[in-house]
Amino acid sequence: MPKRSLVIVVLCLAILAGLAGGVYAYDSGHREVIAQGVTIGGIDVGGLSRAAAEDRVRAELLGPLSKPIVVQGGGQTWRLGPREARIAADIPSMVEQAVGASREGWLLGRVVRSLTGGHVYADIAAPVTYSDVAVVRLVDRVRQALNKPAIDAGLRFNPSGFTKVPSHDGFAVETGALHRAIRAAVVDPSASRTFVAPLHKVRPKITTHGLARAYPAVVVIDRSTFHLRLFEHLRLAKTYSIAVGQAGLETPAGLYHVQWKEVNPVWHVPKRPWAGDLAGKTIPGGDPRNPLKARWLAIYDGAGIHGTSDDGSIGSAASHGCIRMHIPDIIELFPQVPVGAPVYIA
Domain ranges of the chain: 215-345
Q: The domain 215-345: what is its CATH number?
A: 2.40.440.10
Q: What percent of the chain has pLDDT over 90?
A: 76
Q: What percent of the chain has pLDDT over 70?
A: 87
- pLDDT of res. 41: 94
Residue 117 has pLDDT above 50, yes or no: yes
Nearest-angstrom CA–CA distance, 287 and 298: 19
* Packing angle of the helix pair 132-146, 175-185 (nearest 10 deg): 140
Residue 23 has pLDDT above 80, yes or no: no
Compare 106 and 95 and report the one with higher pLDDT.
95
- pLDDT of res. 24: 47
- pLDDT of res. 286: 87
- pLDDT of res. 279: 83
Compare 316 and 37 and report the one with higher pLDDT.
316
- Residue 230's pLDDT band, with cuts at 50, 70 and 90, is very high
Nearest-angstrom CA–CA distance, 66 and 68: 6
pLDDT in tens, 42-69: 999 998 999 999 999 999 999 999 999 9
Q: 157 has which bridge partners?
A: 162
- pLDDT of res. 121: 85
Nearest-angstrom CA–CA distance, 99 and 54: 11
pLDDT in tens, 166-200: 999 999 999 999 999 999 999 999 999 999 999 99
Write the Ramachandran bin of 153: left for phi over 0, alpha for psi from -120 to 50, otherwise beta. beta
Amino acid occupying residue 303: A
Residue 19 has pLDDT above 60, yes or no: no
pLDDT in tens, 143-158: 999 999 999 999 999 9
Amino acid occupying residue 220: V
Longest Cα–Cα distance of the chain, Å, equals: 155
pLDDT in tens, 88-104: 999 999 999 999 888 77
Residue range 207-211: mean pLDDT, rounded: 96
Residue range 58-82: mean pLDDT, rounded: 96
**Burial letters for 51-64: b for 16+ Cβ neighbours within 10 Å, e otherwise?**
eebbebbeebbbee
- pLDDT of res. 116: 64
Chain center to CA of 182:
17
- pLDDT of res. 147: 98
- pLDDT of res. 273: 85
pLDDT in tens, 262-313: 999 998 888 888 878 888 888 888 899 999 999 999 999 889 999 999 999 9
Mean pLDDT of the residues in the chain: 90
pLDDT in tens, 123-132: 999 999 999 9
Strands 194-196 and 69-73 turn out to be parallel
The H or E element containing residue 254 is strand 254-257
- pLDDT of res. 281: 85
Nearest-angstrom CA–CA distance, 222 and 184: 63
